[in-house]
Amino acid sequence: MPEHSEAVIATAVERVTAETQTRIAKASERAAGFLFGAQKLMLEEFVFLGNEFLDRAQTEMHLFSELTSKMAGAHSVKDVRTMYEECGKHQLEFIRRDCDRVFKNGERVIEAASNLFKSHPLN
């Protein structure tokens, strides 16, 4: 009789060990998937950030060259005032577009992070 109970205990221990190993493997797989997803999200953001910096620098250089060309063409106080009004409007429009891009990017990052947590539940 003791051999029978030892066999039952051994079988139960093997079953529990197998279930534990399966759970650990699934948890490791989910953690690895989550980490790879987070890494991909970060790399995408770095690429996007680099492109945004380049685009912003190009736009700033364009606005600066526009300002200098208009300053060179201004021959009176009235022309200078008109030039500053026009360039100020262009700068404000640039700032508005830049802020819109930042907000859209923030929404995109939040959505991507949310999807990352949805696709890789932690429990």
What is the value of pTM for the model shown? Answer: 0.62
pLDDT in the model for residue 98 = 87
Question: Please, what's the b/e burial string for 11-22 (b: 16 or more CB within 10 A of its CB; e: otherwise)?
Answer: eeeeeeeeeeee
Share of the chain above pLDDT 90, in %: 6
> What tokens does 94 get?
């640039």
C-alpha–C-alpha distance, residues 4 and 10, integer Å: 10
pLDDT, one tens digit per residue, over 47-80 is 988 898 898 899 889 888 888 888 888 888 888 8
pLDDT, one tens digit per residue, over 82-103 is 888 888 898 899 889 888 988 9
Q: E-strand spans in the chain?
A: none
Q: Which residue has the tokens 């039952």?
A: 8
Count other C-beta atoms under 10 Å from residue 82's C-beta: 13
